[in-house]
Structures are given as C-alpha cells and as structure tokens.
Amino acid sequence: MNDTIRKKVARSEEEWRAELTPEQYHVTREHGTERAFTGPYWDNKEEGLYRCVCCGKPLFSSETKYDSGTGWPSFYAPVDGDAVTEHRDRSWFMTRTEVRCADCDAHLGHVFGDGPAPTGQRYCMNGTALRFDKT
C-alpha cells in the first residue's frame, strides 16, 4: 500500500455532470454499462496508459490489456494495488465484484476470475470510464 495518504476526489453531482458527457456520467456516477463493442478502447492495441475519465488516476497499462472477446477493454491487472477498489455488486439478480477508481469512486466495470495468467483475473472495464494516454 502506498504510504502517501490520498484525499478522495469529491465533487457534487452538478460538478460531475458539468465535467462529463452524459454517457460518461451514466457509466461512472450511476454505475451504468456501455453496450458491448460500442465503447472506446475495446479493440485498442496501442501502447499507453488508461486513466480514470473522472479524475485522471492511472488505472491500467496496455501491457496488461488483452482481447477477452467480450467487447469491453479487458486487463489482467491494474497498474498497482492502490489503483482500484473492489465492491460487492448484487444488481441484475447476481453477485459480482464491482471495480471503482480508488481516488474518486467512479464505477469502472467488474472483475471476474476467468482471466489469463499470471493473475487469472479479467478486469472488464467500460471504455467510457477510461481515458487513454498513448506513449
């Protein structure tokens, strides 16, 4: 864990609405999901860093991105252990593990235990919740 104490990014709903597109707001602040194969980055193969669209926090590297065939950007690990938080999600009549940005609590997607080595994890993210910085 990082020894630096981070302040949570806190904005009012009005501020989030002013900063984000309606789709970004729906996905990140209302825990929505973009349709498969429609969001940005699901098929991006460029090298770079994926950041939170809300606060800019580094979340995932292109080095851990892979094609899961699901239509969403998928990664087998975040950039570090402090990048994301995991929460129980009991919506849609099932139990899943929701993934949020550790700094601003933006809903990013879900993590599943059917990913590739070395972690066996599939971080299935909404591309709308991410910003890509090409290296």
Catalytic positions are 124
- DSSP secondary structure letter of residue 64: G
CA distance 34 to 23: 8
Give CA separation, 86 vs 23, 43, 59, 82, 105, in Å: 22, 25, 13, 11, 10
CA distance 92 to 87: 15
Report whether 107 contacts 61 (CB < 8 A). Answer: no
**Which candidate, 80, 79, 82, 65, places its Cα nearest to that of 124?**
65
